[in-house]
Amino acid sequence: MTGRTLPTVWCLTPDERDGKRCVWCGAELGDDAIPAGIAVGYWGAHNRSVAVYECAAHTPTAEPGDAT
């Protein structure tokens, strides 16, 4: 998961809410989608939060020599 602040669920497009597009750039996602976190949203007492995904272009890569 990235350290960026995710938008609320109300700011997402339907495809971003459904996990079909990258939450950051809107690129179409396939089986290689990477979890970006939870976009939070409430409608009164009802939790409308959803898991959102990102493409590989927005995923930080490990630097050589980093511990895994």
Contacts of 64 (CB under 8 A, 6+ apart): none
DSSP assignment letter at 21: B
Per-residue pLDDT, 62: 47
pLDDT at 3 over 80: no
**pLDDT value, residue 50:** 98
Q: Is residue 66 part of a domain?
A: no
46 part of a folded domain: yes
- The residues that bridge with 53 in the sheet, in sequence order, are 35
Say which DSSP state 31 is in.
Answer: T
pLDDT digits over 23-64, tens only? 999 999 999 899 999 999 999 999 999 999 999 987 776 455
Nearest of 1, 44, 41 to residue 17 by alpha carbon: 41
Stated pTM of the model:
0.79
Residue 35's beta-bridge partner residues? 53
Residue 50 counted as domain residue: yes
39 located within any domain: yes
Domain count, the chain: 1
Range of the domain at 54: 9-58
Give the per-residue pLDDT at 49. Answer: 97
Q: Which pLDDT score, from 0 to 100, does residue 27 have?
A: 96
* Residue 34, in any domain of the structure: yes
60: amino acid identity, one letter: P
